[in-house]
Amino acid sequence: MIIDSVEVIPYRIPMRKPLEFASGRVDEIDHVLLRIQTTDGVVGIADIPPRPYTYGETQQSIIAVISTVFAPLLVGMSALDRGAIHRRMHRTVGNFTAKAGVDVALWDIMGQTLQQPVHRLLGGAADSVRVSHMVGFADPLKMVDEAERVREQYGITTFKVKVGRRPFLLDVDVVRALREHFGSAVELYLDANRGWNAAESMRVLDAVSDLDITFFEEPCDAAEILGRRRLVAHSRVPVVADESAPSLADAAREITTGGATAVSVKVARSGFSEAQKILALAEGLGVEAIIGNQIDSQVGTCGSVALAAGVNYAGRHAAELSNFLDMADDLIAEPLQIIDGAITASLQPGLGAKIDEDKLRKYRQDGKGN
Amino acid sequence: MIIDSVEVIPYRIPMRKPLEFASGRVDEIDHVLLRIQTTDGVVGIADIPPRPYTYGETQQSIIAVISTVFAPLLVGMSALDRGAIHRRMHRTVGNFTAKAGVDVALWDIMGQTLQQPVHRLLGGAADSVRVSHMVGFADPLKMVDEAERVREQYGITTFKVKVGRRPFLLDVDVVRALREHFGSAVELYLDANRGWNAAESMRVLDAVSDLDITFFEEPCDAAEILGRRRLVAHSRVPVVADESAPSLADAAREITTGGATAVSVKVARSGFSEAQKILALAEGLGVEAIIGNQIDSQVGTCGSVALAAGVNYAGRHAAELSNFLDMADDLIAEPLQIIDGAITASLQPGLGAKIDEDKLRKYRQDGKGN
């Protein structure tokens, strides 16, 4: 499993349906495909999503840090020496999704070499994972229509509603419309992506108090230290740290200082190794964890499925795995299937995410494609 | 990796040199050798140490719970389905070392089947592990002699001094004698195994304040809730939870409520799976972790070496790996070597702890031996 070469390929795929939320709007995905090849010819892959509005990384920064800083550290090491590799990468600050991509590709190499699916190496907790679907900004009726379509077509019954607009009654109307349409047949939770301030968020909590909301994610900016803590202290609904808890240390700080009472865990920014630790922290401290979506392609989603199926504590809630439904295409050769509201964990060795080379040629942006 | 059969074998080996400490004295080890065999003929093993004075388990209770409760749950499952297996075992309360033994044997099966040493599957942080040696009760001069002998013979320079006797000045004399003998060439920390109360422990802290003590482990019973917290709040030396933190939940409670400012992690009571989580919790919360010794045989010590070499955060301090030096014999076929104060992690697949069948016949106590 000695690492021989590292390849980073920028690519672009349009969204079939743009995803809009309080902190941004995604019309196309400009991701980086990472391929790490070993001297035995095994190729581990990861899909890396730049999210400048969340982590400050860009497609170009990811390519630069991997090819100029990380690749020289990686070549010649065994993919099994994850701990040593992480110590070396740790010397470079930030770059969450770039580091996570390296970690995911190492696990993919390990799984392929050992001929085991990654979710079983991670812990073998389950065979399949329940899916939660994210409903982006639109008029209330359109959002209800989308949720209904997704429920009918895929059997999904857990919805994360993107909120954080002003006036907030617009979003409250959406949530009320969803609850009235579905009754108690669905689970609903909110994600404001820091769209409101703490005082507004408190008013929202009152306005939706009869609507059985499971979680309230990033209602306001965690940097509004006291307001956020006052909100968390008053909220009966668990307040989820997502972009405010990208690392183990951030998660620990937010949880222990009253900034959050639940945490979102994303393979795209934590890899498997750090995600395992954050899940252990959450389990130890008794706060809920949700497997989140970084607007992941199907290639990226394979990693989230592996984590959710691998770790017991990750399986307590439906995982956010369906953002790929809004993408016009994908690099994956064998598309994921959502059936009866769940995705079955791949039994292929590694992540089971084979790349369609024709599509890669079509969408890559480094001049080596069609 | 389908589990076919589970075997539990009680055995007894005398101590060459009895280990005496505040909560007990060990003249012989009455352990249980666990062997889990798969349908492919792979045999995963674990050494399980009953410690009635710590967990309430006995050799007989370990054999009973594994053979009558756990074995029927295990047979027919894949050793890779650790998460599912733990969910099933979790229905039975307590039985820490029995559950840990099952987990260790599962990892051994995984490593042997995948042809990888366990420490690399756990994370591949290091190739070898620094050793800390435990010095049991004796006269001050004898304890200095033992430490000096161990340093000369094995190159060990970190010593955990068993304390907790009354009057406590006896122990203070030992620590002072050690520091005067070695100067700054060694690291010293204390383990009172709950031998004192909180007020005495506070006086001990004053009495050793000039002796550069790294840790103070279980100075008093964690069940003395307020006294323990007052001590922890006043102690500049990190107070280590050991027997008060056998599980992730216990560790989290002690750390977050001021009962401890460091934690001891033991494979013998947590297995690898729970130990990984406790290490992640400690890392996240920024408290130190020590890999502890449950008076482990060499077979058991192979597991501690794998954890300490596998996980980055486990490698911050010397690990307690040398209790086997005091045992008259061992079931292991290829004895561990402590060289220059360190043990090299085995590169054999799995745990690398082969059993000497002649010795097993000699020491087993189920009537099937010599």
At B259, the pLDDT band (50, 70, 90 cuts) reads very high
Of A86, A273, A281, nearest to B284 by CB-CB distance is A281
For chain A, the domains span 3-116+356-363, 120-344
Q: Which residues of B touch A86 (CB under 8 A)?
A: 312
Residue B344 to residues A76, B113, B294, B323, Cα–Cα distance (Å): 21, 22, 20, 16
Chain B residue at shortest CA distance from A285 = B252
| Nearest in space to A77 (alpha carbons), one of A97, A105, A100 | A105
Mutate to test the interface with B, among A283, A287, A347 (most CBs of B within 10 A): A283
DSSP A52-119: TTTT---HHHHHHIIIIIIHHHHTTSBTT-HHHHHHHHTTS---HHHHHHHHHHHHHHHHHHHT-BHH
Strand partners, A25: A20
Among A86-100, A339-353, B21-35, B266-280, whose mean pLDDT is lowest? B21-35
pLDDT value of position A24 = 81
Contact A82 B123 (CB under 8 A): yes
The string of pLDDT tens digits covering residues B82-133 is 999 999 999 999 999 999 999 999 999 999 999 999 999 999 999 999 999 9
Contact A81 B120 (CB under 8 A): yes
Of A83, A116, A256, nearest to B123 by CB-CB distance is A83
Identity at A326, one-letter amino acid code: D
Chain A residue at shortest CA distance from B249 = A284
How far off is chain B from A80, nearest CA to CA, in Å? 6
Contact B284 A277 (CB under 8 A): yes
Is the separation of the CB atoms in B189 and B204 below 8 Å? no
Contact B121 A276 (CB under 8 A): no
Count of alpha carbons within 13 Å of B345, Cβ hemisphere only? Answer: 29
For chain A, say whether B124 makes contact (Cβ under 8 Å).
Answer: yes
DSSP for residue B346: P
Is the separation of the CB atoms in A165 and A171 below 8 Å? yes
pLDDT value of position B56 = 92
Contact B116 A120 (CB under 8 A): no
Instruction: Assess whether the previous peptide bond of A335 is cis (omega < 30° from 0).
Output: no
Element at B358 (helix H, strand E): helix B357-363
pLDDT at residue A41 tops 90: yes
Mutate to test the interface with A, among B109, B312, B316, B347 (most CBs of A within 10 A): B312
Of B114, B256, B286, nearest to A116 by CB-CB distance is B114
The string of pLDDT tens digits covering residues A123-179 is 999 999 999 999 999 999 999 999 999 999 999 999 999 999 999 999 999 999 999
pLDDT value of position A20 = 85
Contact B276 A280 (CB under 8 A): yes
pLDDT at residue B355 tops 90: yes
CA B73 – CA B83 distance, rounded (Å): 13
Instruction: Assess whether the previous peptide bond of A167 is cis (omega < 30° from 0).
Output: yes
pLDDT at residue A25 tops 90: no
DSSP B6-20: EEEEEEEEEEEEEEE
Chain A residue at shortest CA distance from B118 = A80
Cβ within 8 Å of residue A340, ≥6 positions away: A155
Chain B residue at shortest CA distance from A125 = B83
Tokens at B25, concatenated:
């004295």
SS3 B212: coil
Fold of B120-344: TIM Barrel (3.20.20)
Is the separation of the CB atoms in A63 and A8 below 8 Å? yes
Q: Which residues of B touch A121 (CB under 8 A)?
A: 80, 121
DSSP for residue B136: -
For chain B, say whether A77 makes contact (Cβ under 8 Å).
Answer: no
Please pick, among B242, B250, B274, B296, the residue that the annotation labels catalytic. B242
Mutate to test the interface with A, among B85, B102, B273, B283 (most CBs of A within 10 A): B283
| Nearest in space to A239 (alpha carbons), one of A203, A267, A201, A212 | A201
How far off is chain A from B309, nearest CA to CA, in Å? 9
Strand partners, A187: A158
The reported pTM is: 0.95
Chain A residue at shortest CA distance from B1 = A116
Of B82, B280, B311, nearest to A123 by CB-CB distance is B82
Chain mean pLDDT for chain B: 96
Q: Which residues of A touch B78 (CB under 8 A)?
A: 120, 124
For chain A, say whether B260 makes contact (Cβ under 8 Å).
Answer: no
Contact B83 A123 (CB under 8 A): yes
CA A199 – CA A120 distance, rounded (Å): 44
Of A78, A82, A283, nearest to B248 by CB-CB distance is A283
Overall average pLDDT of the A333-350 stretch: 97
Residues of A marked active site are found at 162, 191, 217, 242, 266, 294
The string of pLDDT tens digits covering residues A278-309 is 999 999 999 999 999 999 999 999 999 999 99
Overall average pLDDT of the B43-51 stretch: 97
* Residue B350 backbone phi and psi in degrees, to 5: 75, -145
pLDDT at residue B331 tops 90: yes
Is the separation of the CB atoms in A159 and A188 below 8 Å? yes
The string of pLDDT tens digits covering residues A309-329 is 999 999 999 999 999 999 999
Of A78, A83, A276, nearest to B125 by CB-CB distance is A83
Identity at A302, one-letter amino acid code: C
pLDDT at residue B157 tops 90: yes
Contact B286 A252 (CB under 8 A): yes
Residue A218 to residues A134, A226, A290, B163, Cα–Cα distance (Å): 15, 14, 13, 49
Superfamily of domain B3-117+357-363: Enolase-like, N-terminal domain (3.30.390.10)
Q: Which residues of A touch B282 (CB under 8 A)?
A: none
Mutate to test the interface with B, among A81, A106, A122, A281 (most CBs of B within 10 A): A281
Count of alpha carbons within 13 Å of B23, Cβ hemisphere only? Answer: 18
- CA B14 from chain centre, in angstroms, equals 19
How far off is chain A from B163, nearest CA to CA, in Å? 30
Chain B residue at shortest CA distance from A110 = B121
Tell me if residue B340 is catalytic. no
SS3 A326: helix
Tell me if residue B242 is catalytic. yes
Of A124, A251, A283, nearest to B80 by CB-CB distance is A124
pLDDT at residue B208 tops 90: yes
Beta strands in B50-186 (DSSP E): 128-135, 158-162
Fold of A3-116+356-363: Enolase-like; domain 1 (3.30.390)
Q: Which residues of B touch A82 (CB under 8 A)?
A: 123-125
The string of pLDDT tens digits covering residues B284-293 is 999 999 999 9
Identity at A156, one-letter amino acid code: I
CA B103 – CA A22 distance, rounded (Å): 45
Tell me what ipTM this predicted complex has: 0.92
pLDDT value of position A26 = 87
Contact A83 B252 (CB under 8 A): no
For chain A, say whether B348 makes contact (Cβ under 8 Å).
Answer: no
